[in-house]
Structure 1
Amino acid sequence: MKTQEIKSKLSPEQQSALLGTLKTRFEKHKNRHKVIDWASVESRLQSSPEKLWSLYQMEETGGEPDVILFNDSSDEILFCDCSAESPTGRRSVCYDREGQESRKEHKPANNAVDMAAEMGIELLSEQEYRELQKFGPFDTKTSSWLKTPAEIRKHGGAIFGDFRYGQVFVYHNGAQSYYAARGFRGKLRV
Structure 2
Amino acid sequence: MANKTISKKGLPAAQRQELLGVLKTRFEKNMGRHKGLEWADVQARLEANAEKLWSLNEMETTGGEPDVVGHDKKTGEYIFYDCSAESPKGRRSLCYDDEALEERKEAKPDGSAVGMAESMGIALLTEEEYRKLQELGKFDLKTSSWVLTPAYIRKLGGAVFCDRRYDTVFLYHNGAISYYAARGFRGSLRV
Quick check: TM above 0.5? yes
The TM-score normalised by the length of structure 1 is: 0.96
Percent of aligned pairs sharing the same letter: 61
Aligned to 2:16: 15
Structure 1 residue 164: deviation in Å?
A: 0.2
Aligned to 1:85: 86
The answer to whether residue 145 in structure 2 is matched with residue 150 in structure 1 is: no
Aligned to 1:62: 63
**How many correspondences in the alignment?**
188
Measured in 2, the distance between the counterparts of 1:12 and 1:4 equals: 15
The answer to whether residue 173 in structure 2 is matched with residue 172 in structure 1 is: yes
Q: What 5-or-longer segments of structure 1 have no aligned partner? A: none
The answer to whether residue 156 in structure 2 is matched with residue 184 in structure 1 is: no
**1:86-105 pair list within 5 angstroms:** 86-105=87-106
Measured in 1, the distance between the counterparts of 2:164 and 2:137 equals: 9
The answer to whether residue 37 in structure 2 is matched with residue 30 in structure 1 is: no
Structure 1 residue 91: deviation in Å?
A: 0.2
How well do the aligned residues superpose, as a CA RMSD in angstroms? 1.4
Q: C-alpha deviations, 1:117-150, integer Å up to 9, x for none?
A: 0000000000000000001210000000000000
Q: What 5-or-longer segments of structure 2 have no aligned partner? A: none
Structure 1 residue 4: deviation in Å?
A: 9.7
| Matching residue's letter, 1:55 | L
Q: Secondary structure at the match of 1:158?
A: strand
CA contact (8 A) 2:145 2:185 kept: yes
Q: Secondary structure at the match of 2:68?
A: strand
Aligned to 1:137: 138
CA contact (8 A) 2:8 2:51 kept: no
Q: Secondary structure at the match of 2:135?
A: helix
Measured in 1, the distance between the counterparts of 2:6 and 2:185 equals: 25
Q: C-alpha deviations, 1:16-73, integer Å up to 9, x for none?
A: 1000000000000000001210000000001111100000000000000000001212
Measured in 2, the distance between the counterparts of 1:8 and 1:89 equals: 22
